[in-house]
Structure 1
Amino acid sequence: MISSASDSRALFDIGDAEQAAFRALPRHVWDFIDGGSGSESTLVANRTALDRIGLTPRVLTGVTRGDSTGELLGSPVSMPLAVAPMAYQQLVHPDGELALARAARSAGVVFIASMLSSHTVEAIAGVGAETWFQLYWLRDRDRTEELIERAEASGCRALVLTVDVPRMGRRLRDMRNAFTLPSTVTAANLDASPAAGRGSTAHTEQPGSSAVMVHTAEALDPALSWADLEWVRDRTGLPLVLKGVMDPADAARAVDAGVDAMVVSNHGGRQLDGALPSITALSTVVREVSGRCPVLVDSGIRSGTDVLRALALGASGALIGRPALWGLAAGGQDGASRVLRLLHTELEHAMTLAGCADLSSARRLTTTAPADALAAHGGTTS
């Protein structure tokens, strides 16, 4: 664990938060949150693809300040951003998800609570942020249904079903570190008590392997199918968000199955190594969905300009992952709040420089990209 004292260094960009978190965290914890799967080619490609997308600013628009306010699934937000679901946040700060949810509440953005949170969904939702609950498909169908009911009862506003984890990717950093959870960190939504969680395989060292990967394989059912999606849809009145969509054919089928939104995501480069960057897949999914439901995107978002890129490519919003954890690690709730404020400042600044008065005009911006990327994401050249 790290101290809850905040880092006094100024935060000029997300890289400053990254460096502060690197200094604050033990190396094996840093590797757990920073690493990807395999050779980490998709982890790197996410950033490379975003950097290759150019925005064509509009001029003489009379815009003096870009207005980033909007809504996600009917709820007002200060910017079209959600904190992505991330497991075991007490690894990086004692307050874990509670601190990050408070930061999201203060920033006016959505907080997505992971099923594998180190605090219960009831405690997280009690913070008062706009909270969605992320669900993996468990081997225990009764436990899955119980979690859906708990999310509804605690006041969560949407259910996010992650569909790209039939099994965890081979995260080599964790395997080399023989990564295990400390006894103080548990999957609070699955363990009846902290004492019960300490005996799980997630806390038992597995030489040459990740104990978290072993624990996840025991809990998750790899046979998740379209029929199971229908089962979930039938058991909740909450808006249902499908996370992990990359192929437009899957996106079309998901809309037909009644999902209310989807997230184009390669899991931050942590699942299939070699998968195409999420931002590259975004426009083909947006075109296929054709306005029938909101489409969000994650993986590699590191600035307000990246959010603007996503909007220009047709996204309704973006999810932020590691940067929120970096802020949490460096300074708890205050550190996470500073990261979210910085993203808000950057987005409004980028919108103003691009001549965008609001989110609607941001989505009309022209994008440019190298020819090899244009065929994939449908961008245009000027």
Structure 2
Amino acid sequence: MSTTTPPAALPLSAIPADIRNAQDYAALAPHFMAPSHHAYISGGSGYGLSVAANVAAFEQWAIYPRLLRDVSAGHTRIELAGERHAHPLFLAPVAFHKLAHAGAEIDTARAAQAVETCMIASTQSACSLEDTAAAAGPQRWFQLYLLPRREDTLDLLRRAEAVGYRAIVLTVDAPIQVANRRALAAKFQMPPDVVSVNLRGYDIAPRFAGNGPSDSRFFQGAMRGAPSWDDIRWVMSQTRLPVWVKGVLHPDDAVALRDEGVTGLAVSNHGGRSLDGAPSGLDVLPAIRAAMGPDYPLMYDGGVQSGSDIFKALALGADAVAVGRLQLYALSVAGALGVAHMLKLLREELEICMAMAGCATVADITGKALFKPAR
């Protein structure tokens, strides 16, 4: 199949025969996306150092198989911040699903509902948050970016509440977007029909460019519009929904956010799309868990491609794990069916790891299940 054919021209009604595990969708995706779209989705900030770090972090760890353990009553159910979930696998907020498939976020939401997965819908979506909510299952969360005007942010928040999103995930780690070199090399341009539908009618133009001859366009420019502690407090004061903060990598930041009353944290380097050279969230996850204690809700995202990756993140301190790019790869290959199949495969791969490691429940997965070989 031609790699130059746009995604909208590639509908599929069946799973390709050579899909045998979830990661196969990543390998097939370049054959189902326009090359520049794939470069934009798969690439990260700058030289892609943090994208590579996310993958390498999982490769450091092995899983101990355990013998003679009775796991016949095993299951993957969890309780997270008072919500019950069939498994610890979430769909991370990812912008512009339409770059992968014409069905966009609606197809992804339908897939999530079919396999009991909580979708965290992105503010930067090609489909409205209302339409996405209508297609998603009852466990749906909304990822929020702060807009330049608080009245616009508040309106976005009220819309999310009105259609039944059950938590707000506030992203705070990407005030500056560093150029994606892979996308630049592929001459990526956002198609005219791929726009932030949720932001129509809002004033999103920045007002913070420096005017002095020595002003920095970063220090006196972009960072003047970056989220602040006052913004965190304001968002929590405006909603009764649980508020999570996404993009945490330092234990001190994690402790400060917990002390402000944030419900939970997503340990993440923004999929390698923020500060290039930032560590993988997996590498800092144990220190954040140690700082937060055993009971504070932590989610992990970044580089997850298999059930064993999910198992390792849980063992290192996460309560739940969110999948980012892999959902777009599956969407590009087979639409809603592909996303549902990918999620089913990930859950089954996790169950296999749990069973072979002697862990009947997610609560049984601890750091003792992992081995770090000498390199």
Q: TM-score, normalised by structure 2?
A: 0.88
Contact 1:131 1:157 in 2 (8 A): yes
Match of 1:145 among 154, 161, 167: 154
Amino acid at match of 1:69: R
Structure 1: distance between partners of 2:178 and 2:361: 39
SS at match of 1:25: coil
Are residue 308 (structure 1) and residue 316 (structure 2) matched? Answer: no
The residue that corresponds to 2:231 in the other structure is 228
Q: CA deviation at 1:257?
A: 0.7
Are residue 262 (structure 1) and residue 265 (structure 2) matched? Answer: yes
Contact 2:175 2:222 in 1 (8 A): no
The residue that corresponds to 1:156 in the other structure is 165
Are residue 92 (structure 1) and residue 95 (structure 2) matched? Answer: no
Moved more, 169-178 or 81-90: 169-178
Match of 1:343 among 342, 346, 370: 346
Q: CA deviation at 1:178?
A: 4.2
Q: CA deviation at 1:68?
A: 1.1
Q: CA deviation at 1:74?
A: 2.9
For structure 1, which runs of at least 5 residues remain unmatched after alignment?
Answer: 201-217, 373-382
Amino acid at match of 1:244: G
CA RMSD in angstroms, aligned pairs only: 2.3
SS at match of 2:125: coil
Change in 2 beyond 3 A, CA 1:236/1:32: same
Matches within 5 A, 1:195-214: none
SS at match of 2:198: coil
The residue that corresponds to 1:377 in the other structure is none
SS at match of 2:262: coil
Structure 2: distance between partners of 1:295 and 1:57: 25
Are residue 4 (structure 1) and residue 11 (structure 2) matched? Answer: yes
Structure 2: distance between partners of 1:115 and 1:348: 32
Change in 2 beyond 3 A, CA 1:65/1:221: farther
Structure 2: distance between partners of 1:142 and 1:27: 39
Change in 2 beyond 3 A, CA 1:337/1:21: same
Are residue 291 (structure 1) and residue 299 (structure 2) matched? Answer: no
Percent same amino acid at aligned positions?
A: 36
The residue that corresponds to 2:284 in the other structure is 281
Match of 1:187 among 191, 196, 206: 196
For structure 2, which runs of at least 5 residues remain unmatched after alignment?
Answer: 1-5, 206-220
**1:221-275, Cα deviation, whole Å (9 max, x unpaired):** 7321111111111111110011000000000000011111101000111111111
Moved more, 344-353 or 290-299: 290-299
Structure 2: distance between partners of 1:44 and 1:219: 26
The residue that corresponds to 1:380 in the other structure is none
Contact 2:357 2:369 in 1 (8 A): no
The residue that corresponds to 1:204 in the other structure is none
**1:182-233, Cα deviation, whole Å (9 max, x unpaired):** 121110100249xx99xx9xxxxxxxxxxxxxxxxx9997321111111111
Structure 1: distance between partners of 2:19 and 2:223: 39
Change in 2 beyond 3 A, CA 1:360/1:292: closer
Are residue 253 (structure 1) and residue 256 (structure 2) matched? Answer: yes
Structure 1: distance between partners of 2:200 and 2:249: 32
Contact 1:90 1:185 in 2 (8 A): yes
The residue that corresponds to 1:354 in the other structure is 357
Contact 1:261 1:293 in 2 (8 A): yes
How many residue pairs get aligned? The number is 352
SS at match of 2:190: coil
**1:102-145, Cα deviation, whole Å (9 max, x unpaired):** 11111111100000011111111111422111011221221111
Q: CA deviation at 1:75?
A: 2.9
Are residue 78 (structure 1) and residue 81 (structure 2) matched? Answer: no
Q: CA deviation at 1:9?
A: 2.4
Matches within 5 A, 1:60-71: 60-64=68-72, 66-71=74-79
Change in 2 beyond 3 A, CA 1:367/1:19: closer
Amino acid at match of 2:160: A
Moved more, 261-270 or 220-229: 220-229
Change in 2 beyond 3 A, CA 1:128/1:322: closer
Structure 1: distance between partners of 2:280 and 2:330: 24
SS at match of 1:132: strand
SS at match of 2:225: coil
Contact 2:285 2:318 in 1 (8 A): yes
Q: CA deviation at 1:351?
A: 0.4
Contact 1:266 1:275 in 2 (8 A): yes
Change in 2 beyond 3 A, CA 1:359/1:44: same
Amino acid at match of 1:366: A
Q: CA deviation at 1:65?
A: 6.5
Amino acid at match of 2:313: A
The residue that corresponds to 2:371 in the other structure is 368
Q: CA deviation at 1:369?
A: 2.4
Contact 2:106 2:132 in 1 (8 A): yes
The residue that corresponds to 2:64 in the other structure is 56
Moved more, 283-292 or 235-244: 283-292
